[in-house]
Every structure is written in structure tokens, then in C-alpha cells.
Amino acid sequence: MSGTGDAPAQVSVELSGGADDAGSVFALLGAAFASDRADGPAPRAAESGGPTVWSGVFDTARPAGGGPSGSPSLSGPVTASVQGGYVAVDRVVTVLSAAFTVTEEGSASGDQEKDVNLRLEGA
């Protein structure tokens, strides 16, 4: 995966919440952008039943060429940490906002990147 121009295009996404909900979010993002999760396993719950975080990297400069199949739904809230270049993070947040109710819970900005913490809920 690679970006174009000076703007970093790769975005790291970390999700916590239910495994099925994390799978729905990754499916939505994977339909929009190329990802390191394309051939990876679907998120599944930890055997211990404790908190679990799933992660993926999405390249916003490389559209996946498809759209999500059906309307994604969430059974409960999902916490998402989205980190990358300013434009790339905004692209990911735009895709998430089109499918879910998104509440920004915090952010940190640097010289080249930003990190946004989001709460995703079914629309």
C-alpha cells in the first residue's frame, strides 16, 4: 500500500466492541479502501472474554472499487481510534459517518498526522 504526493494516505484503525460489530466496520472500510485486512480473518471474540482490540491499515489513496453490501449495522457501540495523515483520516471518518452515528470523543494533532477517537453507533 502506498500514498500519492506528500499527503500520507495510510490510516491505522483500532476498534473495540463486539467482534461482529468490528467485522461490520472493517467490511465497510474494506469496501471503500484497500486494506491489509483484505484476506485476513474476521474479528472474533477473545477466548478469555476480556477486552479485545482489532486493528487494520487502510490506504485511502487506493479505492477498493466497491461499496458495502447492504446497510451495515451495529448491535452496540464501537470505539474507534483512527490515526494517519489529516486528509486520509478525514476520508475514513466521512465513510464511517455515512453509515453510522459518529461522535468524536477526543483528538490529538501533530505536524503530519492526527489521531481521532470516535464512538460509532447504529444510525
Over 60: is that where the pLDDT of 6 sits? no
What single letter denotes the amino acid at residue 31? A
**Tell me: the pLDDT tens digits for 9-47?**
999 999 998 888 998 999 999 989 988 876 655 666 666
The position carrying cell 485486512 is 37
- Confidence category of residue 3, pLDDT binned at 50, 70, 90: very low
What is the residue-wise DSSP string for 7-48? S--EEEEEEES-HHHHHHHHHHHHHHEEETTTTSPPP---TT
How many other β-carbons are positioned within 10 Å of the β-carbon of residue 84? 27
Question: Reduced to 3 states, what is the DSSP secondary structure of residue 51?
Answer: coil
**Tell me: the pLDDT tens digits for 91-102?**
999 999 999 999
Q: What are the contacts of 101-106 at 24+ separation with CB within 8 A? A: 105/79
The position carrying cell 467490511 is 27
pLDDT at residue 15 in the model = 95
Over 90: is that where the pLDDT of 8 sits? no
